[in-house]
């Protein structure tokens, strides 16, 4: 095959050899660009935006870690205070929420509560009662959420 290629090359005129060499050079340059330079160039162009996005994610994670550290360092409230705070928050849910207190656990039963109402209730439970969610069994029902949320109160694990 190598001999056949040499014979073919020798059979070409000088002008045709130059044209084939230029075509091979152009094709080689394109392949170099397409396989090596362009992907690296694209990566470098996107790196700045990706670094900014990762920095924002890191800052958000650090803020969450600081909040978790602060919550962990905050002493638990007395069980009767925690119960009062949870009952107060549950009263704002109206007929959509019912609270059952069992020792160091609180069980919130939801029936069609909105996601915003649940988020507000959880925030109030976390700050007012220092309660921590242990388990949630929720499903979307109609225009809201139904199910139960179990919380630990009074410093219980």
Report CA torsion sign: 64, 69, 70, 76: positive
pTM of the model: 0.57
Report residue 157's pLDDT band, with 50, 70 and 90 as the boundaries.
Answer: low
Report residue 156's pLDDT band, with 50, 70 and 90 as the boundaries.
Answer: low
Encode burial over 130-149: b for 16+ CB neighbours within 10 A, e otherwise.
Answer: bbbeeeeeeeeeeebbbbeb
pLDDT score of 138: 93
Q: Read off the pLDDT of each residue in 4-14 and give the average, rounded to a whole number.
A: 91
Phi, psi of 106 (to 5 degrees): -130, 135
| CATH number attached to the domain at 79-152 | 3.30.1360
pLDDT at 115 over 70: yes
Q: Read off the pLDDT of each residue in 108-128 and give the average, rounded to a whole number.
A: 90
The answer to whether 109 and 100 are in contact (CB under 8 A) is: yes
Q: Which tokens hold the place of 13?
A: 């005129």
Q: Read off the pLDDT of each residue in 105-120 and give the average, rounded to a whole number.
A: 92
Whole-number Cα distances in Å, 6 to 3, 10, 22, 27, 76: 5, 6, 18, 20, 88
Q: Distance between CA atoms of 43 and 135, rounded to whole angstroms?
A: 43
Q: Which tokens hold the place of 109?
A: 């039963």
Collapsing DSSP states into helix, strand and coil, what is residue 6? helix
Whole-number Cα distances in Å, 153 to 40, 119, 136: 54, 18, 15
pLDDT tens for each residue of 11-61: 999 999 999 999 999 999 999 999 999 999 999 999 999 999 999 999 999
Report residue 99's pLDDT band, with 50, 70 and 90 as the boundaries.
Answer: very high
């Amino acid at each position: 095959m190598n001999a056949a290629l040499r014979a073919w090359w020798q059979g070409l005129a000088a002008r045709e050899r130059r044209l084939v060499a230029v075509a091979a050079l152009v094709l080689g340059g394109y392949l170099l660009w397409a396989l090596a330079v362009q992907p690296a160039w694209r990566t470098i162009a996107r790196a700045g935006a990706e670094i900014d996005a990762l920095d924002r994610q890191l800052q958000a994670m650090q803020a969450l870690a600081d909040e978790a550290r602060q919550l962990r360092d905050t002493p638990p409230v007395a069980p009767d205070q925690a119960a009062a705070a949870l009952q107060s928050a549950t009263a704002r849910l109206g007929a959509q929420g019912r609270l059952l207190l069992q020792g160091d656990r609180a069980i919130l039963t939801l029936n069609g509560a909105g996601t915003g109402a649940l988020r507000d209730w959880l925030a109030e439970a976390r700050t007012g009662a220092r309660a921590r969610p242990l388990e949630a069994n929720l499903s979307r029902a109609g225009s809201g959420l139904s199910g139960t949320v179990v919380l630990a109160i009074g410093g219980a694990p």
